[in-house]
Chain A
Amino acid sequence: DTAVSQTPKYLVTQMGNDKSIKCEQNLGHDTMYWYKQDSKKFLKIMFSYNNKELIINETVPNRFSPKSPDKAHLNLHINSLELGDSAVYFCASSQEGTSGYNEQFFGPGTRLTVL
């Protein structure tokens, strides 16, 4: 069983379109994340949700809007896509809570290409 899954795996779209990426984890974790990996392979956190509440919101354009309908899901919606949004987007999860800070598990990534 896949622990952290993302859909779609590949996404090719035109500038100006709106698209969504979905993430689900079946690990029972209480915290989920979105990361962006650019063309130089550098990973940077975008958002973090704990128990459906936004706890980290980095300096990303407000065209990016995360939504967490429940603890197991964290979706990323992107409006008015731009060329610079082309990257690989990774979802991750971890169990925080009272047991301390635990390891992150990553999804397979979604490669977004904006033409």
Chain B
Amino acid sequence: KQEVTQIPAALSVPEGENLVLNCSFTDSAIYNLQWFRQDPGKGLTSLLLIQSSQREQTSGRLNASLDKSSGRSTLYIAASQPGDSATYLCAVRFNKFYFGSGTKLNVKP
């Protein structure tokens, strides 16, 4: 059974801290993995997409890595800011997309 898990469910950090969000999946036969952020009452904003042949992608203060053999992806956020507060979701594409339940991040000023 294909599953996507995100731990922790919630995370609170002081502003300026570097942090890592985790996403794990049960099947290494993935096509790609996409990280999103969701603000309360809003839709999903795409952050980074990693194809199965790639190991990492970077955008600004964000860096996402992919290790298919261990079934893991991490989203690294450097120098966190209060504006980063949101729920972060990872979506893994097997034959179709599966979403994790998200990590709710709170960056305290």
Which A residues contact B (CB, under 8 angstroms)? 33, 35, 40-45, 48, 56, 90, 92, 100-109
Contact = CB atoms under 8 A, between A and B. Distances in A.
A108 B101 CA distance: 18
Binding site secondary structure of chain B: strand
A108 B39 CA distance: 11
A35 B96 CA distance: 12
Contacts of B34: 103-104
Nearest to B31: A101
Contacts, number: 46
Contacts of B29: none
A103 B49 CA distance: 6
Contacts of B66: none
A56 B49 CA distance: 21
B43 A104 contact: no
Contacts of B76: none
Given A41-B38, A45-B98, A90-B43, 12 more contacts: A41-B87, A42-B99, A44-B99, A45-B97, A56-B96, A90-B44, A92-B44, A100-B51, A101-B31, A101-B51, A103-B46, A108-B42
